[in-house]
Every structure is written in C-alpha cells, then in structure tokens.
C-alpha cells in the first residue's frame, strides 16, 4: 500500500467513524467485481494545498458532524506530505431521512 493509499484509507476510516456521515461515492458502481476500484476512495482528493473529502450527511445538523469529522481527519494528515494542506469537507448530498422529524 502506497503512502497515498494508506492516507486515503485512514481518512475514510475517520469519516466512517462519524455517525451521520459517509463518504460520497459514485452513484453507478459496476455489478461485477471485475474492476479493482476503491469506490470509497474516490471521495478523497489529496492535493498539495487542499485535501478534499466529499461526504453525504445522513442526519442533521451539519456543523457538529463536520466539526467531528475535521477533528478526526486532521490528525491523520500529521506527518504526511499533506500535513500543511487545507482540509475541505464538502457535503455533496443530504439523505432524505435526515429531514424526518418524529
């Protein structure tokens, strides 16, 4: 596993540990296992200046979810080539169930 792949895996693990967020993955995924793609990994862009993580919110409010994700992802970048990069969390969608109120 390369440094980039390891960083993406750790970032995804951090995001997945936040109840109410999940990585934003492409809508259409192949039905067979013939493509060795890391679909979740497509939610992370590692750039020299900006690390961008696309997420889908499963509940509201957004601010506490994004703050928690940021607190978990930022330490993952320490000691990597992306340690000084700005962290950008982008909410690409909000699950409809997040709007349901009991």
Distance CA 26, CA 23 (A): 10
For residue 41, pLDDT over 90 is answered with no
**Overall number of domains in the chain:** 1
Residue 32, domain member (yes or no): no
At 10 the pLDDT is 97
Residue 34, domain member (yes or no): no
CATH number at residue 70: 3.30.300
Residue 81, domain member (yes or no): yes
For residue 97, pLDDT over 80 is answered with yes
Residue range of the domain that includes 21: 3-25+39-99
Residue 8, domain member (yes or no): yes
Q: What is the pLDDT of residues 12-25, one digit of tens each?
A: 999 999 999 999 98
Question: Mean pLDDT across the stretch 50-60?
Answer: 97
> Two tokens at 23?
């990585």
User: With bands split at pLDDT 50, 70 and 90, how would you rate the model's confidence at 32?
Assistant: low
State the pTM of this model. Answer: 0.86
Q: Is 49 exposed, middle or buried (0-12, 13-18, 19+ CB in 10 A)?
A: exposed
């Amino acid at each position: 596993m390369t440094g980039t792949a390891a960083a993406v895996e750790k970032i995804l693990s951090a995001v997945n540990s936040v109840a109410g967020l999940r990585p934003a993955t492409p809508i259409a995924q192949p039905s067979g296992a013939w493509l060795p793609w890391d679909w979740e990994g497509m939610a992370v862009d590692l750039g020299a200046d900006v690390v961008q993580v696309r997420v889908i919110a499963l509940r509201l409010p957004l601010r506490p979810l994004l703050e928690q994700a940021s607190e978990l992802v930022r330490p993952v970048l320490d000691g990597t080539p992306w340690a000084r990069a700005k962290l950008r969390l982008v909410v690409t969608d909000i699950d409809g169930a997040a709007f349901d109120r009991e």
